[in-house]
Amino acid sequence: MTTTASQASSPGIDIAYAWMRLAISMLLATIGGVGMWAVVVVLPAVQAEFGVDRAAGRPASASASS
């Protein structure tokens, strides 16, 4: 099997570009994950600040029957 000059000199995968895409993807995934979990982590502090809990308000059974 012989290789042509164009196949032998082709750089293949652009390593720097691939690493840059991976870094950007990980950054976006991290920002998205933090945005999703920040509410769960911060919610107890917010509840304590305002003096409310998750059960405050009408029970679910009362709203379903009316």
What's the whole-model pTM score?
Answer: 0.46
Q: Give the mean model confidence (pLDDT) for residues 31-36.
A: 88
Residue 54 has a pLDDT of: 73
SS (H, E, C) 6-64: HHHHCCCCCHHHHHHHHHHHHHHHHHHHHHHHHHHHHHHHHHHHHCCCCCCCCCHHHHH
The yes-or-no verdict on residue 63 having pLDDT over 80 is no
pLDDT at 51: 86
Work out the average pLDDT over 42-47: 87
Does the structure show a pLDDT above 90 at 40? no
The whole-number average pLDDT for the span 15-41 is: 91
Could you tell me the residue ranges of all domains in the chain?
Answer: 12-52
